[in-house]
Amino acid sequence: MIEVTLINNKTLQTVSATYTARELVSQGGEDLLMENMMENLVCSCIPIGETNVIECDCWEQWEDCHLEFDGE
């Protein structure tokens, strides 16, 4: 398992997750991995009313971030 930490460069807030090597490869690159971590670990995405529109509260707060991998 490889620990990956997403760090917000503005607030220094961090979130971490562990992945297998295969899961990291399947993410399709660092940008998609960051997007996946934001959606699943950081954002509180909720549907608006009875529509298919989903609003997330964190994209602007986390637009300046970077990843650190265990052992780097």
Is pLDDT of 69 > 80? yes
Q: Model pTM?
A: 0.68
Helix (H, G, I), strand (E, B) or coil at 37: helix
Domain ranges in the chain are: 2-69
How many angstroms separate the Cα of 69 from the Cα of each of 19, 46, 59, 61?
10, 29, 22, 22
What are the tens digits of pLDDT across the range 37-61? 887 888 877 777 777 777 776 777 7
Give the pLDDT confidence score for residue 30 in this predicted structure: 85
